[in-house]
């Protein structure tokens, strides 16, 4: 009788082996179980909103550039409306138009930050050319 019981228990566990293997807690199953739930509808909505925000941002950039290109930078009396700023680190005067908010800068060095060079750290320094209207800033600076 004890041998019969042992064989019976052995047969039961042999038949349960595939089921027990499926419910065994392996590291892969544990990682999968601990992942936070991601709602597919919420994820799709977030992706749509990001795309809409990106399109709106690009449209705003295009409109701002167009406004700045078409701005006369003069007030109603046909005088230059460009304000001078002298608080730059290089001590050079810059001009800011209060009508279109364009920044009129002299030629200067630019060192791009991380992420602007393909992810290789700090980017290669380069010279930003002088704004086409910087001669107006020089003229206004000489009049002050």
Q: What is the pLDDT of residues 87-103, one digit of tens each?
A: 988 889 999 999 999 99
Q: Is the model's pTM score more than 0.85?
A: no
DSSP output for 58-94: HHHHHHHHHHHHH---B-TTS-B-PEEE---TT---E
Q: How many CB atoms lie within 10 A of CB 127?
A: 9
Quote the CA–CA distance of 110 and 124 in Å, as a whole number.
9
State the chain's mean pLDDT as an integer: 88
CB neighbour list of residue 44: distance below 8 Å, 6 or more residues apart? none
Q: How many CB atoms lie within 10 A of CB 141?
A: 13
Per-residue b or e along 14-33, where b marks 16 or more CB atoms closer than 10 Å to that residue's CB: eeeeeeeeeeeeeeeeeeee
Quote the CA–CA distance of 67 and 25 in Å, as a whole number.
63
126-128/103-104 β-pairing: unpaired
Q: What is the pLDDT of residues 1-29, one digit of tens each?
A: 577 777 777 777 777 777 767 777 788 88
Structure tokens, 13? 């566990």
pLDDT band of residue 57 (cuts 50, 70, 90) is: very high
Flag whether pLDDT at 39 surpasses 80: yes
Contact assessment for residue 94 and residue 84, using Cβ atoms and an 8 Å cutoff: yes
Q: What is the pLDDT of residues 119-144, one digit of tens each?
A: 666 778 889 999 999 999 999 999 97
pLDDT at residue 118, rounded to an integer: 63
């Amino acid at each position: 009788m004890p041998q019969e019981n042992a064989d019976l228990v052995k047969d039961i566990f042999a038949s349960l082996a595939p089921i027990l293997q499926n419910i065994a807690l392996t590291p892969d199953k544990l990682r999968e179980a601990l992942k936070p739930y991601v709602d597919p509808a919420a994820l799709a909505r977030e992706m749509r909103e990001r795309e809409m925000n990106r399109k709106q941002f690009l449209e705003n950039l295009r409109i701002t550039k167009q406004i700045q290109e078409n701005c006369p930078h003069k007030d109603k009396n046909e005088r230059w409306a460009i304000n001078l700023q002298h608080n730059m680190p290089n001590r050079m005067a810059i001009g800011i138009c209060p009508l279109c908010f364009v920044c009129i800068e002299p030629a200067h060095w630019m060192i791009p930050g991380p992420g602007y060079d393909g992810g290789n750290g700090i980017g290669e320094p380069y010279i930003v050319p002088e704004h086409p209207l910087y001669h107006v800033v020089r003229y206004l600076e000489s009049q002050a």
